[in-house]
Structure 1
Amino acid sequence: MTYEQATNYLFTRLPMFSRIGAAAYKKDLTNTLRLCEYLGNPQTKFKSIHIAGTNGKGSTSHMLAAILQTAGYKTGLYTSPHLRDFRERFRVNGEMIEKDFVVDFVKRIQPAIDEIEPSFFEITVAMAFEYFVYKQIEIAVIETGLGGRLDSTNVIVPEVAVITNIGWDHMNLLGDTLPAIAFEKAGIIKPQVPVVIGETTSETKPVFEQVAAEKQAPLYFAETQRYVAEWKYDHHQLVLQVADSGSDDRNTYQLDLPGYYQTKNCITVLEVVYHLQKAGYKITGEQVQKALRQVKKLTGLHGRWEVIHANPVVVLDVGHNEDGIKQITAQIELSDYQHLHIVIGMVKDKEVEKVLALLPKEATYYFTRAQIPRALPEDELAARAQATGLNGHTYGDVNTALQTAINKADKRDMILVCGSVFVVGEVAEVGSMR
């Protein structure tokens, strides 16, 4: 079996949420536990940090992995979905999983797949756990896929649990109120395990307090411990002055993730680091600063207000739900450009109208779609956008749309590609365009 045959087997044999949506979602942990048992329960053989949340969990995961790597710990990182390469989901000290391991794992797990009938995501979780044991990591950063309570990753007992925030996403699966969604995310809280909450609202905070009390889990709200006193942009870097609440102490952090929304993720990360230090992890302030300057280089993170071209500026952002788009529009307002072009594609199961209503009406739009079954057809997206006052043309694939935008744009313009992880993942090298 070749690597291509192995991944093709995984993509075609197993139900895959990113392609078909809710039909691939398994609403219990039985399959994951059976897979782990088949493999000798690898999830019990390494330490971890578990991260859930509506937005920001990917950035938070990568920041924490970068910090742990910089502090000298052999660090695993499991995230989803991938942008371009399946192996992006599994990293150790920033390096992607070896193709040979993927092939060997698929061969070994096939009898269990035939017996258990797991989803694609359940298999990738089991693969990650097995890989981290194989690589003898010291700690892993594990990002949930969807929700928390019933997410396949929720078979670990972490050093710290983290919930970044609660917003509107996957309501068809997680609930149609913020407290209901918060309850699902709070499912990662474990007995006696510290839990750090990034952002709360009056609706979600009581949910966390209740679940943490029931589990006797120490509960910490990051936004009450520190705040961003000052910030500025400097050459596509975000420079933050972070102050401790109740004191005048300030520390400066320079992030290579320039989106203003990273200020909130940074506050969450710093609180998690504090609890890791309390637990005995040797992490210095200098190591934190060094890591945050080079998160992308250390961990391979892409698609978070990522500037990939200048004159015109081309930006990629994977924001795709109501809260994510709010963060993007706030970033647009902070940006300097002559005219804005937006290349956008979405998937069918998002709150499309709510997202479109948030986008700037004065931009020129290029409506497109990713090449997956879940994608909303570009003609339908354009019609729904027009009803909210957004105008543009349709394109059958992302790169035709982007090429057209580049051809039309003045050098002082800005082009934003957003609306779906899968749309961003299909963007080709801009250097090969024009």
Structure 2
Amino acid sequence: MTYQETLDYLFNKLPMFTRIGAAAFKKDLTNTIALCEALGNPHKQFKTIHVAGTNGKGSTSHMLAAVLQSAGYKTGLYTSPHLHDFRERIKVNGQMCEEAFVVDFTKRIIPFIETIEPSFFEITVAMAFDYFAQQQVDIAVIEVGLGGRLDSTNIITPELSVITNIGYDHMHMLGNTLALIAGEKVGIIKPNIPVVIGEYLPETKPVFIQKATLEHAPIVFAQDKRYVADFKNEHHQLAIDLAEHGSDIRHSYILDLPGIYQCKNLLTVIEAIHQLRLQGWQLDEAIVKKALYQVKKLTGLYGRWQLVHEHPSIIYDVAHNEDGIRQLTEQLELSTYQHLHIVMGMVKDKDISKVLQLMPKHASYYFSKAPIPRALEDVTLQQMAAEFGLTGKPYSTVNNALQAAVNASDKQDLIVVCGSIFIVAEATIDAIKF
């Protein structure tokens, strides 16, 4: 098979969550365990960090990977979903795995695919573990796909577990209360393995403590260790001063990820780094600061308040649930523009009303849909948005919507593309005429 034929096979043969939603989600780890056993249990051949959470787990994973590889460790990074290239999911020191590896792995695993009928995600997890073992990485940062307890990545025993936060997302699968959702996320906490919690709420803190106590896992709440003393967003960078509670000690960091929500992620990352240092990982502070200054360059992280064009300013952001959109609107309140244009689309299984009620009413909207079965129809989204005082037109493709926004914009305007990672993935700035 060629690389493209291999991708066609993987995308079309296997149940894929991005296409069909909950039907692709397997309720246990049996398939992943069987696949990895057939491959010689590659996940046991390298050290790992496991990162879960409703929002921020992607940014947190990339920041940790940037720091580790900058410190001289050969670092794997597994994340999902991808924006443009399937191989974005599996990287070593910021470089995507080779097309030839994807082809070879798929050929080797086809007999097992035919026998046990795994999901797309189960195969990609096994593929990542196999690649990291082949590459003999020192450590791999593994981002949870969905939830935690039943996620395919949860067969690893990491050096450190990280849970960024708990918010409302995938409620039809994880539960409709924060405590229930937290109950799924804490499934990654392992016996005697330290866990860093980025943010907690009154409803979620007892869930974290109960699970950590049960597993005899040392637990640290990042927000109780440090706080953001000051931050400044300028020149498409984010300067943050962190202070330690009960101390005059401050540390300054400059991130190339300018979204102000990265302040919360940085608190989590810095505490995770502290925990790794306690285990003997050599992570010099100067190297940490240098790495965080170039996360995008080192790891290829995109779609987080990403400026892709100026005059008018065009921002891509993968915010897609209630908490993510709330953070996006906070960012908009700090932004300067003449008029705001929002290109958005969503998938059907999100709490769409909760998102729409948060969106700014003064903006002009351009509703669209990604070319996946889960996508909400653009006309339906337009009608739902109208109930919340949001006005705009539907467009058959994301680029048509973006072009319309550009055509209606002055140079001092701001255009934001958001609502779904699949919407951001479809936006092609090179196809737009200015």
For the residue of structure 1 that corresponds to 2:155, the secondary structure is coil
Runs of 4+ displaced beyond 6 Å:
none
Cα distance in 2 for residues equivalent to 1:433 and 1:186: 47
1:46 aligns with 2:12: no
TM-score by length of 2: 0.99
CA–CA separation in structure 2 for the residues paired with 1:416 and 1:269: 27
Q: Does 1:223 align with 2:223?
A: yes
* Alpha-carbon distance change, 241 to 431 in structure 1, aligned in 2, over 3 angstroms: farther
1:418 aligns with 418
1:57 corresponds to: 57
Counterpart of 1:179 in structure 2 is 179
1:16 corresponds to which residue?
16
Give the Å deviation of 1:429: 2.6
Q: Tell me the distance in 1 between the aligned counterparts of 2:111 and 2:147.
A: 29
Residue 254 of structure 1 pairs with residue 254 of structure 2:
yes
C-alpha distance after superposition, 1:125-148 (max 9, x if no partner) = 000000000111000000000000
> Which residue in the other structure is 2:288 paired with?
288
Aligned residues: 434
Q: Distance in 1 between matches of 2:431 and 2:286?
A: 36
Following superposition of structure 1 onto structure 2, how do residues 195-344 of structure 1 map, counting pairs within 5 Å?
Answer: 195-344=195-344
Q: Which amino acid in structure 1 is aligned with residue 227 of structure 2?
A: Y
Cα distance in 2 between the residues matched to 1:432 and 1:21: 31
Query: Residues 198-240 of structure 1, C-alpha deviation per residue, up to 9 Å, x if partnerless?
Result: 0000000000000000000000000001111011012010000
Q: Distance in 2 between matches of 1:134 and 1:383?
A: 51
**Could you list the per-position Cα deviations for residues 53-79 of structure 1 after superposition, in whole angstroms to 9, with x for gaps in the alignment?**
000000000000000011000000000
Tell me by how many angstroms 1:430 deviates. 4.1
Deviation for aligned residue 1:43: 1.1
1:365 matched to 2:370? The reply is no
Partner Cα separation in structure 2 for residue 233 and residue 210 of structure 1: 38
Distance in 1, Cα, partners of 2:291 & 2:171: 35
The one-letter amino acid of 2:327's match is Q
Q: Render the CA deviation track for 1:17-61: whole Å, top value 9, x for unaligned.
A: 011101101010001000001101111111000000000000000
- Taking the aligned partners of 2:372 and 2:431, their CA distance within structure 1 comes to 25
The superposition leaves residues 85-110 of structure 1 with CA deviations (integer Å, 9 ceiling, x where unpaired) of: 00000000000010000000000000
Partner amino acid, structure 1, of 2:316 = L
Q: Report the Cα offset of residue 336 of structure 1.
A: 0.4
| Alpha-carbon separation, structure 1, partners of 2:234 and 2:109 | 48
Counterpart of 1:147 in structure 2 is 147
Residue number in structure 1 paired with 2:403 = 403
How many angstroms does 1:245 deviate by? 1.2
Match of 1:36 in 2: 36
CA shift, 1:431, in A, is 7.0
8 Å Cα contact 1:308/1:430 also seen in 2: no
* Residues 154, 188 of structure 1: 8 Å contact kept: yes
Residues 140-149 or 225-234, more deviating: 225-234
Q: CA contact under 8 A between 2:403 and 2:432: conserved in structure 1? A: no
1:378 maps to 2:378:
yes
Q: For residue 260 of structure 1, what is the amino acid of its counterpart? A: I
Give the unaligned 5+ runs of structure 1: none
Question: Do the aligned partners of 1:366 and 1:394 also contact (CA within 8 Å) in 2?
Answer: yes
Distance, in Å, in 2 between the alignment partners of 1:433 and 1:46 is 47
* Partner SS for 1:153: helix
Could you tell me whether the CA contact under 8 Å between 2:399 and 2:431 is conserved in 1?
Answer: no
Quick one: distance in 2 between partners of 1:86 and 1:154? 21
Q: Return the alpha-carbon distance in structure 1 between the equivalents of residues 378 and 277 of structure 2.
A: 49
Shift, 1:355, TM fit: 0.3
CA distance in 2, matches of 1:267, 1:27: 33
